[in-house]
Amino acid sequence: MTRRLYYDDAYRTAFSARVIRRLRHADHPAVILDQTCFYPTGGGQPCDMGWLNGVEVIDVIASEENGAILHVLAADLDLSQDQVAGRIVWSRRFDHMQQHTGQHILSQAFMRTANAETVSFHLGSEVVTIDLNVPRLSPEQVEEAERLANQVVFSDRPVRARFVPPEELAAYPLRRPPQVQGPVRVVEIEGFDATPCGGTHVARTGEIGMIKIIRLDKRGEETRVEFRCGERALADYGRKNQMVQQLAGLLTTGHFELDQAVERLQAEIKQLHRQLRQAQERLVAYGAAELAAQAERVGELTVIRRVFSDRDPGQLRQLALRLAVRPKTVALLGLAGAKAHVIGACSQDVQADMVTAVRVALHALGSSGGGGRPQFAQGGGATAHEGQVAAALEQALATVMGGASQPPPSQGGKAGIGEEPG
């Protein structure tokens, strides 16, 4: 069993120890010591990092069976030495102390303000989260919990950790029951919270600096709360303040008026979108009129064929639908390029199978598929130049003319793949 020196003093960063076992773990050398300051991964808190005799410690793992702590190393230690000098990375340790104690405070704050219990805790290198057993929290509840948590921080209360015998646990108002048998290590924040915990913590709440809730995510019947404490909260504020200043500069406004500037910009964008849609509709109408003026007469039908290379399928669809409102009209439009596209449309007073016509054109282009309804069909995907697409439209027209006739009075089509509304 390894003596855990961080239980006695979480602020201790250096120690000496005796190697009691050498082994390998995941293709890395590893040692078990008689005592250590290194905190192993557990309880939602990552392990400490540091060095043993100058060799980097890359992972620290606790054994649940015998209480030993495994130190995984980047390289072998000098086998002639049984005594090692250890040193942990203090900045990492103190960051974990700030975040973990802050989590205890925030969890208790949510218990008091929203009757929400913490069911899990994760301390990552960037993100710190707690999961609460409630499906939703109101903005007022979140604000109240954050305010209460920071009141506890600013009051600079003592934080004490001790092992409590089972017979004395009843005297502690534990936020959650212990998960182990025998003596339980209880971390107590004076007058506010008492929780079974094996992690490292600050000595006074004032060392946390600040607790800031960043965001909430609904996860089934639980709510995940992301937060930052201490230096992490300060760094987050710095990044966001810089962003606000940059945005204010781009919008030529003060940072306190930034929300109003954004609202004005959103209104302008909506107006521009409306104007753009209107302009596009006018452009489609103009394009349809131009194509109709160049149309050819085939029997009783007005036939419009055109291959484009500078449009997108959406624009072609709008053109085809606009053309198809003209009486006794057949429109066959193609798009050349890396993804050739074919669209066929006809007016309601023409009985034709545009689905078959489009499929014939696509087959000529070495592609398949295509679908829709009798008056409108489309498909694409093949690579083809303008000449190839034009030839494919010729075959489509031949298919249409072979089956074109006057429809019965009540003709209508059912929707299919690729259908656009009329």
Provide the residue-wise pLDDT of the chain in tens; the chain has 422 residues: 899 999 999 999 999 999 999 999 999 999 999 999 999 999 899 999 999 999 999 999 998 778 899 999 999 998 777 899 999 999 999 999 999 999 999 999 999 999 999 999 999 998 899 999 999 999 999 999 999 999 999 999 999 999 999 999 888 899 988 878 889 999 999 999 999 999 999 999 999 999 999 999 999 999 999 999 999 999 999 999 999 999 989 988 888 888 898 999 999 999 999 999 899 889 888 888 989 888 999 888 999 999 998 888 998 999 999 999 999 999 999 999 999 999 999 999 998 999 999 999 999 998 888 899 999 999 988 899 999 999 999 999 999 988 654 333 333 333 333 344 33
Three-state DSSP class for 77?
coil
Task: Report the number of distinct structural domains present in the chain.
Answer: 3
Report residue 318 as tokens. 């709008």
Helix-helix angle 139-154:90-114, to 10 degrees = 130
Contacts by residues 21-28 (CB-CB < 8 Å, ≥ 24 positions apart): 21/68, 22/77, 22/79, 23/70, 25/59, 25/61, 25/70, 25/72, 26/72, 28/58, 28/59, 28/72, 28/73, 28/74
Q: At which of 183, 216, 247 does a domain end?
A: 247
pTM of the model: 0.72
106 and 81 share one domain: no
Q: At which of 222, 247, 272 does a domain end?
A: 247
Backbone phi and psi for residue 230, each to the nearest 5 degrees, phi listed first? 60, -130
- CB within 8 A of 198, min separation 6: which ones? 42, 43, 185
The string of pLDDT tens digits covering residues 303-333 is: 999 999 888 899 899 999 999 999 999 999 9
Q: Where are the alpha helices (DSSP H) in 173-257?
A: 230-250
218 and 231 share one domain: yes
106 and 143 share one domain: yes
DSSP 226-248: EEEEHHHHHHHHHHHHHHHHHHH
28 and 97 share one domain: no
Q: What single-letter DSSP state applies at residue 204?
A: B
CATH number of the domain at 46, please.
2.40.30.130
Q: Which domain holds residue 48?
A: 3-88
50 and 156 share one domain: no
Count other C-beta atoms under 10 Å from residue 230's C-beta.
Answer: 22
136 and 167 share one domain: yes
DSSP 365-421: TT----EEETTEEEEE---B-HHHHHHHHHHHHHHHHHH-BPPPTT------TT---
Q: At which of 37, 66, 88 does a domain end?
A: 88
Three-state DSSP class for 291?
helix
Element (H, E) at 184: strand 184-189
78 in a domain, yes or no? yes
223 in a domain, yes or no? yes
